[in-house]
Structure formats: structure tokens, C-alpha cells
Amino acid sequence: MKLSNLILLSIISVAFFYIQLWDPLLVTPMYVALLGLSLVFGVFTRDINMTHISSFILVLTGSSYIAFSEGFINYITPSENKLLQGTIIYGVQLIVSLSIALLLIFRVQVSRMISKSKQIELTHFDGVFHWIYLYLVLVNLLALLENIAWSYFEMKSWTIIYDNFEGLVYIAYALCSGTLLTMMILSTRQNHTQKPKTS
């Protein structure tokens, strides 16, 4: 199967699965679990590039997930002030997405600062991941601006992003999950083709 077909099939499968669930209480933990699985797979197969990509996304996404699910954000967001509440909620998500995007843009340099491994290199997938998170930056920025228009300027009809926020985020999760699954499949394929040569 061609690489492009494999990526497309993985993304469509994961997107269909996430959309069927349509519940952040289910989809986000599954996404974090897939990131964890990808990290374990990268460590197990000694694929340092996959390990670093997965760990960068996992640490920041996992921290954000814990902060929201445990209610840390709710403690500092006054419910009576919708402008401040929305600004903090969407602002935190914007900062997390931007941090991940920047980390992934400079992934090779950051990986080389962390590890002295000679296997650290730019992969075919590095160019995909940062665009996914730049898309999430755009979604969160638009949500933040829409919240300001809705709560401060009383534009109550402006709820396009708010009404579709989960779906827009699920698109990014599906793209990232499909790309991670494709990385794992290709890593397994490469390991199988290299084994006969070394034996």
C-alpha cells in the first residue's frame, strides 16, 4: 500500500471513530492514550524521532487535559464574567497549541539538545505535525476572538466556532492520530526489512 493511501486511510478511520463518539470526555482521553502508546512504541522500537515527537505532544496535551479535567482552570475562571472566563479557557488552549507547534517546528534542534543520539533527523512526518497544531492555533484564536465579540460587543449571533469547536478539534486529533499510526506502521515495516540484512 502506498504511503499516501496509508495515511489517508488511517486519518479517515480515526476521524470517523472520533466523530461517532463526539464527546470530549471520551475522545480526549483516547487521544492522550494514543499519544502514550506512540511514545511507548517509539521507546520499544528505539525510534528516537517518534519518541520525541510523541513525548512533546503528550506532555503538553496531557498537562492541558489534566488542568481542564481536574478543574484547575475552573478555579481561576469566574463564571459571572463570561469575557474573562472565555479568554482564560481559549487563551490557555491557544498557548498550549502554539507551544506544541513551535516545539514541533524546531523539533530536531530541541531533540539534539535533549539527546546526543546520531539517529535524530528530520522525518517525513515532521512537516505534517506542526501544521496540524498551527491549525489548532487558528481554531483557538478564532474561538477567542469570537468569545470577545460575543461577550464584550454583545454579538450574540457569533457562535460559529463555539457551536463547532469539538468537531474542529477532532479534525486535528484525527489528523495527528492518523499520522502517528502511520509512523508506527512504517517503523514496523522498516524494522522487518532491516532484520534480514543484519542476520
* Contact criterion met (CB below 8 Å) for 122 and 46: no
For 189-199, write each residue's pLDDT tens digit: 776 666 554 43
Give 5-31 pLDDT, tens digit per residue: 766 676 677 666 666 666 777 888 989
Query: Would you state the pLDDT for residue 51?
Result: 96
**From residue 135, how far is each of 14, 113, 145 by CA, in Å?**
18, 27, 15
Alpha helices in the chain (DSSP H): 3-21, 24-44, 48-69, 72-76, 82-105, 107-114, 126-151, 160-198
> What's the CA dihedral at 35, 40, 45, 48 to 10 degrees?
70
Mean pLDDT of the chain: 86
Residue 181 has pLDDT above 80, yes or no: yes
Distance CA 32, CA 187 (A): 20
